[in-house]
Amino acid sequence: MDRLYAPWRSGYHMSKPSGCVFCDISSRPENDRQNRVLYRDNACFVVMNLYPYTPGHFMIIPHAHTDALEELDADVWLRASVLARRGVRLLKERMGAQGVNMGMNLGIAGGAGVAQHIHLHLVPRWIGDANFITTIAKARVFGRDFDEIYENMLDKAGEYFND
């Protein structure tokens, strides 16, 4: 079985903020660059995962605070779906992703790290990204800096997400 080993995520597991981190980001557009927001509109925002599984991993998050996908306004869900399609294109064209894992972990039992606020992950993948260095040496090699990845994607994010 291939595994994505992500030791850089340990900071996430050790520092859980009080309150909803996604509502905090949603309510503070003036901090978008600091929070690594790529895009926002009235329904959702797109933010880089600060503890990514792979380089370029980001999330699409509704502004509405809910843990129940089934209760999310249908128009917001449709907007998130449109942003997901555009996000896949962004990852393929700007990050050179050869594939993308996309999904939601709903509830604590479903594996959600932030269970109180639904969010859709887009995780870029490359052939061989779960290779021997990851599985045997327990190390991960990133060829680019997180800030460089953010700037690269932010530079063109508006072209992908804006209508």
pLDDT score of 59 more than 60: yes
153: CB partners within 8 A, 6+ apart:
38, 48, 56, 58, 90, 94, 95
Percentage of the chain beyond pLDDT 70 is 80
* Per-residue model confidence (pLDDT) at position 158: 87
Residue 17 per-residue DSSP state: P
Q: Is the dihedral of CA 94, 100, 33, 76 positive or negative?
A: positive
Q: Could you tell me the pLDDT band of residue 9, with boundaries at 50, 70 and 90?
A: very low
Spatial separation of the C-alpha atoms in residues 59 and 114, rounded to whole Å:
12
Q: pLDDT confidence of 81, banded at 50, 70, 90?
A: very high
- Looking up tokens 């309150």 gives 19
Average pLDDT score over the chain: 85
In this structure, the chain runs to a length of 163
Check pLDDT > 80 for residue 13: no
How high is the pLDDT of residue 141? 56
| Cα-to-chain-centroid distance, residue 121 | 5
pLDDT digits over 108-127, tens only? 999 898 999 999 999 999 98
CATH of domain 20-127+147-161: 3.30.428.10
